[in-house]
Amino acid sequence: MPRGEQEIPDDCVTCIRCGWVSFAVTRADAEAHVEKHNRWRLEEPSRLRHWPTPATLDGYRCRGCGQWGPYRRTVPGDCPTGATLNAVVCEHV
């Protein structure tokens, strides 16, 4: 059954520093995505127009404060309905 728009996914974390809500991924998953994306962008030179710089693991820091956490498990009220969530590296919460 599809998740409702107001439900918080189980893999969400809240940055203790700034309160930004993100979804957690493992470092291994983030590294695999960075490698796959960078290989994909180089396969077709026209893609470099939209993705001129390679992806890096730094893209998986908190988008609110730019730090690596610390994080806590997200609770109701942390995230407004319809917010866009980004991925952060967070192995344990």
46: in domain: yes
4: in domain: no
Task: Count other Cβ atoms within 10 Å, centred on residue 53.
Answer: 8
What is the model's pLDDT at position 1?
40
What is the model's pLDDT at position 91?
87
Domain of 17 in residue numbering reads as 12-89
What is the model's pLDDT at position 5?
56
31: in domain: yes
Nearest to 22 by CA among 71, 82, 93, 92: 71
Tally of domains in the chain: 1
Rg of the chain in Å (alpha carbons):
15
CA distance 30 to 48: 21
82: in domain: yes
> What's the full length of the chain, in residues?
93
Q: Which residues of the chain have pLDDT under 70?
A: 1-6
